[in-house]
Amino acid sequence: MPNLMVKHDGAIGDCGYTIPALNALKEAYQYIYQSCTNRGLTALQDTGLIDKFIVKPKGFREWKEWEQRAWLVSETAEIDFDRVINFHGVVPGKYLFHLKDRQSQQSQADKIANAKGINFFDEMSRRAETPEAIGQRPITRHLHHERIWLRNFRLSYGIPDNAYIIGWHFAGSGPIKWYPHFDKVMQKGIMRMYDDVYVVALGDTEGKMDWDSKYHHGRYINFRGTFRQAYILTSIMDLLIAPETSVYVFAQAYTTPKILLATHTDGTHITCGTETIILYPECDCAPCYNIVWDCTKHPDGDYPLCIGSIRPETIIKAIESKMIPFDTEESLGVGALDHRNPKSSISPSL
């Protein structure tokens, strides 16, 4: 069988879009190598999809062109590959734009029309020429020790079997992905209304609520683990709430119920299946399809207008619509926890 070289310097979420294609390519190639930054390693290690990573050193982009070429030649000299697939530019620069991009000067209406009906997973599959991957979820294997860790997660954190676990992903690639009213939704809302709800905070420490572990009698857990652990943990949750960012992208592997806080896109581009409620900002500037750090501030606080205009009561209503009593037969269907229902639809990927 031939060998394949994949080139992709994209962010962690962008690497997630390639998984359906990589699943299909794995059937056709003996070895798959990937040239990437450390973000690619973080995203795809332990998935079983990449046999060897060629990770570019920090500051590689600032090197002179001849230095970059020399390093790549030296690192790949002993590697034999028959085909190269370059995933660069499939999404950023075509559907999402940095301020430096010429296309970022297009009107909001043009950007919306440009991205309408586009699924980012499928676009990567088209670049890879794997039509059989179109419409597929980004499913990856769970290692043996990960399956054990997932089964013991509730016991490890003192979460009762009949408790409802909500995962909330805080951090993203900019303030438009950091929801500012979390305390109103959870601290003063859901966790006071329902004493059987546990909240597991995912993402980088920046942007997380730094609540004491005893808050709400230990029902708030500031999870500090790897990116890999964070996204596979969503497979045993009852609900995931997240902005348009990496954990949400990888969590599309599972039918876990989800609420997406969409800001710079309409959210459909990164969503698989029908288990997700997409909530939109109440402002005219969204979706903008820009990757930005500095944008219009909300009049009530030092946070972006878009993410701040998703009202807490809207999220609370969406959460309650997803909360199905565990003592009903329906609770053992799509997104059910594996330890509650051994025949759950997520069990084949575990």
pLDDT value of residue 212:
57
pLDDT recorded at residue 134: 98
How is domain 3-133 classified at the architecture level of CATH? Answer: 3-Layer(aba) Sandwich (3.40)
Give residues with Cβ within 8 angstroms of 173, minimum separation 6. 11, 13, 245, 291
Are the CB atoms for 51 and 35 separated by under 8 Å?
no
Amino acid 28: pLDDT = 95
Spatial neighbors of 100 by CB under 8 A, at least 6 apart, are none
pLDDT (0 to 100) of residue 336: 32
The answer to whether residues 316 and 189 touch, using CB atoms and an 8 Å cutoff, is: yes
- Position 334 scores a pLDDT of 33
User: Which parts of the chain sit beneath pLDDT 50?
Assistant: 207, 326-350
Query: May I ask the CATH class of domain 144-349?
Result: alpha beta
- DSSP-derived letter for residue 338 is T
What is the pLDDT at residue 206? 52
- Write down the pLDDT at residue 210: 60
Q: Where in the chain is the domain with CATH 3.40.50.2000?
A: 3-133, 144-349
The model's pTM is: 0.89
Q: Could you report how far apart the first and last alpha carbons of the chain are, in Å?
A: 28
Helix locations, 129-183, DSSP H: 144-151, 153-156, 182
Task: Round to whole Å and give the CA distance between 251 and 16.
Answer: 9
The structure tokens listed for 333 are 């269907």
